[in-house]
Amino acid sequence: MTQQGLNKRYYKRIGRCPYCLKEKIYGDEKSCPECRAKNAEYSKKRDRVHYNKVHAEWSKKVYEERKSKGLCVRCGKNRAKEGQCRYEACIAKDSKSRSIRTWHLSRYERGLCRFCNNPLEPGYKVCEYHHQQCIEKSRSRRS
């Protein structure tokens, strides 16, 4: 872990805001109200559409550079096989994550709870037992 991460953990443990290092934080908060307000203002000012456009241009450029050099377009570290764009390990990671996502979808489509394979509660994506657990968890977070 980096020194910055260790510092954040330390200040949070002693009850100080890990960003401004001055204000107290209470309970399971991650920062003080002043820092959260500053972050909210910054988020409002940031132009998400422009950022997305710039990022898309950058990622296309990186993709083309890696492809022309014969590197894996996903990680950029390893050489891709002849006639392919990605390294074998990256292909395996992508297919594994894709299969996990479709597995959850297929369980829902079959009418099964995503946690335990019991039948779904009408109108929900989970069974009655897990629905009650979710309700209890949300109540405990509010108080």
pLDDT (0 to 100) of residue 104: 60
Same domain, 89 and 101: yes
In the predicted model, what is the mean pLDDT of residues 4-26? Answer: 87
Examine the pLDDT at 48 and tell me if it is beyond 90. no
User: What domain count does the chain have?
Assistant: 3
Res. 128 pLDDT band, cuts 50 70 90: very high
Q: Measured at the alpha carbon of residue 25, what is the angle toward residues 20 and 139, in degrees to the nearest 5?
A: 135
Same domain, 33 and 58: no
Q: Which amino acid is at 47?
A: D
Mean pLDDT of the chain: 86
How far is Cα 6 from Cα 103, in angstroms, rounded to an integer?
37
In the predicted model, what is the mean pLDDT of residues 47-63? Answer: 94
Same domain, 57 and 29: no
If phi > 0 it is left, if psi is from -120 to 50 it is alpha, else beta; for residue 86 that is beta
Same domain, 89 and 127: no
Same domain, 56 and 85: yes
59: number of Cβ within 10 Å: 11
Same domain, 77 and 106: yes
Examine the pLDDT at 61 and tell me if it is beyond 90. yes
Same domain, 74 and 122: no
Same domain, 53 and 106: yes
pLDDT > 90: percent of the chain: 27
Q: Which domain holds residue 83?
A: 47-110
When mean pLDDT is compared over 41-50, 61-70, 99-108, the highest value belongs to 61-70
pLDDT (0 to 100) of residue 1: 73
Same domain, 37 and 88: no
Res. 60 pLDDT band, cuts 50 70 90: very high
Q: Which amino acid is at 87?
A: Y
In the predicted model, what is the mean pLDDT of residues 26-49? Answer: 88
Residues 6+ apart with CB under 8 A from 6: none
Same domain, 123 and 82: no
Examine the pLDDT at 55 and tell me if it is beyond 70. yes
Helix and strand numbers (H, E) in the chain are: 5, 0
How far is Cα 19 from Cα 121, in angstroms, rounded to an integer?
43
Same domain, 79 and 125: no
Q: Which of 125, 124, 121, 122 is nearest to 108 (CA)?
A: 125
How far is Cα 132 from Cα 21, in angstroms, rounded to an integer?
39
pLDDT (0 to 100) of residue 115: 85
The sign of the CA dihedral 83, 89, 92, 94 is negative
Same domain, 37 and 68: no
pLDDT > 70: percent of the chain: 95
Which tokens sit at 66? Answer: 């890696």
